[in-house]
Structure 1
């Protein structure tokens, strides 16, 4: 493999740490609960602590990546991830598991921040969108194969085995970063790590019109995907009465649409600019979201029409995410790490809020899921339209 392929593969695997760490252990909740003598609801706190660790950790790594370069924080984060994964495998109480999952996320989330910054360092904007599309291809494999791998391992070797698997992944990536990943940005001694300097840096990034427009527009429609992830088990298995195995196939099919569209995005970028692609797909996503919501309200959807509309919604995400991510980071070179961290924190925060809102609004129908999906799409398109108007006005 050439150096470019190796770089993309390593960045993709780093990006997949977070989803892989979630997807492989979800089916083990009952086993963990039984082994640690707690309820499944108690075990779910280990997932909550992981999300908190991801959100907090991204904001920590941003300034570190700008100050010390990309490799050193990556190495430190992977060491923390490896040690915490080993700790999770050896956990003997739910409190211990919850705390170690937080540390695991705190270490592993460097794999969510650093790749975006490295892509910004290494490629121009249109090329960046293509690279992000390729990363989605690698990232998208996780929700397809990780739950299956995890369930088989848990059945054969117990729930501890998935954390040994995660530790092994962290161990291999540690050596890949050291020996095969070139430094894309040298350490910058001029960047201060004092709070009185970090906070204004984040604020300046936040109020940049281009960052604000594309970070929030992209994150809003990503929130619609989180709403789908949160609500789809109930919608498909409780309302449409599909089996767990059938749900797995449906989940894989829909994830495949996201992956496929992210690769078609590379072809679209040969003819259209990222801004043009984002405008079109956000409009389509909004229309589809509204149709889903209206169909739920009037009870006009069946299993197949629901799958079709969600498939289109997720396909739009495969176009919007790589382009909006690339465009949001364009104004930044020196602060690319901090900008990437803030982008990730916004995406995770809005996504978590959307997922929680589906649960809060739960009423035994598909309306909460589809309404949140539609609302996220409408808000994303609105932010994009208003933001583009402001950007064009500023450029006149």
Structure 2
């Protein structure tokens, strides 16, 4: 069960990280700019955010398994569309379809954890899942670079078709975690309106904002590093995969540390430490990106620290938000996810819009994201003091 849940959570990263090293080559083959290729990340995130908002209430009403199956079918169709696409705009369109499908597995695997566990135990389980799931982006860019060299960029999307079909066949082994008597009876329209009420909760906003701003920085990193490393600093595509993998190892390490410490220190305190570390690293990065101080390592070192903060920020912010609304786990998981990836659209979109051939737009966006994440935990601290 842990294996399938990790795989479902990993769909978000595998469908992007596998083709990252191929982005400059895809742009060249399709005769389009780096800014346009960076928008294939933003297009994916639009589908991913909107998809989550739909799947959350649907699963609270109809159970977790049927929506996951529908999502996997959409993921397979979208991946095949990307493989056959003849232009960058067609890829952006198919990436939206692929993302709506992938989002079902991600949002519902989190809701399944909340169905089965609560409190620090839920944060601990999410940390474990994220650690296992981190294997996908760890191997993704390295594997993507190899597939690109052996078979070209279209083969990357055909492999995603295969992954989607395999997961679909494995799905019947996953139990349904939401029994009929615990399902929501309210109509879908009213459930979607319920997002407004959730957004009025200050604690929920604090948790969602801390994770959301951080994701904005993470996706600025995902959209910006292929061009900052490969094009600006002339790093070979295969070596890019290794630089990216270093960050994932940092994420896995901090998630394992978080799973160990969360029961003792509580998720709120670890969340605050994580955002402080991320904000500090982001400011150093912005300085290095502006002045070219330290060249490649001036970027890679603070980026490693920023990305590693994931282990203290993501699981704790999601668990904190889910904790207050156990009866609406699907909807809360969807809302938090949509806000996180919605920030990702802004982060990756800004890097694409201000692309000037240097790492500065990426460094600037990540610095703003790190500060925003820290300010949200301060809002949360004030709300906790009033409780």
**Where does residue 312 of structure 1 map in the other structure?**
305
- 1:13 matched to 2:10? The reply is no
**Where does residue 351 of structure 1 map in the other structure?**
344
**Where does residue 54 of structure 1 map in the other structure?**
48
Cα deviations by residue, 1:63-109 (Å, 9 ceiling, x for unpaired): 10111011111112112223443454455676765544332222221
Q: 1:302 to 1:163 in 2, by over 3 A?
A: closer
Q: Give the total of aligned pairs.
A: 384
**Where does residue 324 of structure 2 map in the other structure?**
331
Distance in 2 (CA, whole Å) between partners of 1:266 and 1:140 is: 14
Distance in 1 (CA, whole Å) between partners of 2:296 and 2:26 is: 33
- 1:266 matched to 2:259? The reply is yes
- Superposition pairs of residues 69-218 of structure 1, within 5 angstroms: 69-90=63-84, 97-178=91-172, 180-187=173-180, 188=183, 190-194=185-189, 197-218=190-211
Post-superposition offset of 1:309: 2.0
- 1:390 matched to 2:383? The reply is yes
Post-superposition offset of 1:345: 0.9
- Aligned to 1:367, which of 349, 352, 360? 360
Q: 1:169 to 1:362 in 2, by over 3 A?
A: closer
- Stretches of structure 1 lacking an aligned partner (at least 5 in a row): 1-6
Post-superposition offset of 1:177: 2.0
CA RMSD in angstroms comes to 2.7
Secondary structure of the structure 1 residue equivalent to 2:327:
coil
Q: 1:311 to 1:147 in 2, by over 3 A?
A: closer
Q: 1:249 to 1:362 in 2, by over 3 A?
A: same
- Superposition pairs of residues 231-270 of structure 1, within 5 angstroms: 231-270=224-263
Secondary structure of the structure 2 residue equivalent to 1:242:
coil
Post-superposition offset of 1:381: 1.2
Distance in 2 (CA, whole Å) between partners of 1:330 and 1:359 is: 36
Say whether the 8 Å CA contact 2:39–2:348 is kept in structure 1: no
Distance in 1 (CA, whole Å) between partners of 2:199 and 2:38 is: 32
Distance in 1 (CA, whole Å) between partners of 2:92 and 2:354 is: 27
- Stretches of structure 2 lacking an aligned partner (at least 5 in a row): none
Cα deviations by residue, 1:101-143 (Å, 9 ceiling, x for unpaired): 3322222210121011111111112111122212222332222
Post-superposition offset of 1:45: 6.1
**Where does residue 290 of structure 1 map in the other structure?**
283
Post-superposition offset of 1:353: 0.7
Of the structure 1 ranges 92-101 and 9-18, higher mean CA displacement relative to structure 2 is found in 92-101
Distance in 1 (CA, whole Å) between partners of 2:24 and 2:367 is: 33
Say whether the 8 Å CA contact 1:28–1:154 is kept in structure 2: yes
**Where does residue 17 of structure 2 map in the other structure?**
23
Distance in 2 (CA, whole Å) between partners of 1:97 and 1:291 is: 35
Cα deviations by residue, 1:174-233 (Å, 9 ceiling, x for unpaired): 23222x211111342512112xx1333111111222211111112112222222223223
